[in-house]
Amino acid sequence: MVSAMVGRGAVLGAAVLSLLTVPARAVTPEADARAAAALPAPDVGGLDAALHSVVNQGAPGALARVDDGDDSYLVTRGFADRSTRQGISAADRFRIGSVTKSFSAVVLLQLADEHKLDLDAPVNRYLPKLLPDDGITVRHVLSHRSGLYDYSDDMFAQSVSGFEAVRNKVFGYRDLVALSLRKPRTNAPGAAYSYSNTNYVVAGLLIEKLTGSSVRSAYEKRLISPLGLRDTFYVHPDTKIPGRHAHGYLTPDAAGAKLVDATDQTVSWAQSAGALISSARDLNTFYSALLRGKLLSSARLAEMERFTRVDATTSYGLGLRRRDLSCGVSVYGHTGAVQGFYTYAFASKDGKRALTAAANTSNNAKVLGALAGTLESAFCGKSTGKGTGKAPRVPAAGERDLKQ
């Protein structure tokens, strides 16, 4: 259902639309900025169809919000809470999982702007003897090229029992690094991209070391308060989501088993890699501000936007993903998956348009794939999937990273 729509974007002429045929493989900053400036109006019907498909694939509810200049488009389907049958709202708070990594990266890049951190210095310069290899730099960690094994792969090999074993646990960052170091590293420093939560646990340790206080206060002082993010919270190790929120439902591994309400948890297994709570409005505000250059110097933003190719449609910078859409537009943001919640939060290169879409289930690849369809509707307009009545499908490539 389109629950609210404030204003409408201008409809652009054919001459402008022809700029959108930039090939997905050859994203140059200039072509990308031109494509962003010429985006067609969001396809609100397509957004609704995508959310319908998300719910049909097994999510109790789904929400999407597009902010485009002064216009906002809010679309929802289904329930926030299966037991009370309360409908989901586009204003509901939810757990954003690894979208947290963009917040952590921005804090560290701000510290680099303040000359308190050298991105090419070994992590061990700031945290002596933390890692077994002085060749691992801060940049390797932020770009997932450190080779540090992802401890969460073992933790959640069994999705429900793995989750229940840690749902109320409180880990120290060093406990999580120690879990990773029990396993061989996946690659030599800098040699390959390998997505790992361990990298952003190290990022949390760096934030604490360099600021002398908690990641919570770094997020609050540097991002939440200056941007006025009223729905964004880091409550670790509290287990509750404050205020009005969607419940999150973990899909068990066994086909047909009942969904598990996973809303309350410490998220201590992720912390600076994935424990923030937020809303669609706040995430759109955050990525718009970031891409408009309001949070970092242009030199530091350019470093964040130096991408390593992950697969045909996804690249990774420093705590920032790029997705190349079927219409030739590239979008910048992050994906998130914690028990009970999937999130896509992406903005155009110029930050003028942002989409956040979330579903309140996880461990369900079909839901994740259907949710990706919101990106095409938000940034490609009606140019894809036209007339089929079906949500356009973005290739599953890159979704492997979500470790469902």
- Measured between alpha carbons, how far is 300 from 105 in angstroms, rounded to an integer? 11
Helix (H) or strand (E) holding 337, with range, is: strand 330-338
Among the listed ranges 106-114, 155-163, 202-210, 302-310, the one in contact with ligand REY (CB under 6 A) is 155-163
Residue 217: φ, ψ to 5°: -70, -30
Q: Which of 339, 360, 377, 383 binds ligand REY (CB under 6 A)?
A: 339
Q: Which amino acid, 250?
A: L
Answer yes or no: 298 catalytic: no
CA nearest to 222, candidates 347, 329, 320, 112: 112
Q: What is the rounded radius of gyration, in angstroms, for the C-alpha atoms of the chain?
A: 20
Question: Is residue 326 involved in binding ligand REY (CB under 6 A)?
Answer: no
- Measured between alpha carbons, how far is 349 from 17 in angstroms, rounded to an integer? 17
Residue that is written with structure tokens 């540090």 in the block: 148
Question: Is residue 274 involved in binding ligand REY (CB under 6 A)?
Answer: yes
Which member of 98, 146, 159, 315 is catalytic? 98
Residues contacting ligand REY: total by CB under 6 A: 20
Tokens encoding 112: 């680099």
Q: Which is nearer to ligand REY, 41 or 155 (CB)?
A: 155
Among the listed ranges 67-75, 115-123, 152-160, 350-358, the one in contact with ligand REY (CB under 6 A) is 152-160
DSSP per position, 158-198: SHHHHHHHHTT----HHHHHHHHHTS--SSSTTT-----HH
Question: Is residue 336 involved in binding ligand REY (CB under 6 A)?
Answer: yes
Tokens encoding 208: 């604490």
Question: Is residue 360 involved in binding ligand REY (CB under 6 A)?
Answer: no
Pattern of binders to ligand REY over 231-270, x per CB under 6 A? -------------------x-------------------x
Tokens encoding 55: 């719910």
Q: Which of 229, 241, 273, 347 binds ligand REY (CB under 6 A)?
A: 273
Question: Is residue 313 involved in binding ligand REY (CB under 6 A)?
Answer: no
Residue that is written with structure tokens 């949070």 in the block: 295
Q: Which of 35, 205, 289, 337 binds ligand REY (CB under 6 A)?
A: 337
Question: What's the sign of the alpha-carbon dihedral 361, 365, 367, 368?
Answer: positive
Question: Is residue 159 involved in binding ligand REY (CB under 6 A)?
Answer: yes
Q: Which is nearer to ligand REY, 45 or 237 (CB)?
A: 237
Q: Which of 363, 374, 377, 383 binds ligand REY (CB under 6 A)?
A: 363
Q: Which of 152, 186, 271, 278 binds ligand REY (CB under 6 A)?
A: 152
- CB 356, min distance to ligand REY, A: 14
In the chain, what is the straight-line distance between the N-terminal and C-terminal CA atoms, in Å?
27
Question: Is residue 61 involved in binding ligand REY (CB under 6 A)?
Answer: no
- Measured between alpha carbons, how far is 219 from 233 in angstroms, rounded to an integer? 9
Q: Which is nearer to ligand REY, 248 or 385 (CB)?
A: 248
Residue that is written with structure tokens 């770009």 in the block: 143
What is the length of the chain? 404
Q: Which is nearer to ligand REY, 89 or 197 (CB)?
A: 197
Please report, as residue ranges, which positions from 194 to 213 form the binding site for ligand REY (by CB under 6 A).
197
Query: What are the catalytic residues?
Result: 98
> Which positions touch ligand REY (CB under 6 A)?
97-98, 152, 156, 159, 162, 197, 250, 270, 273-274, 336-339, 362-363, 402-404
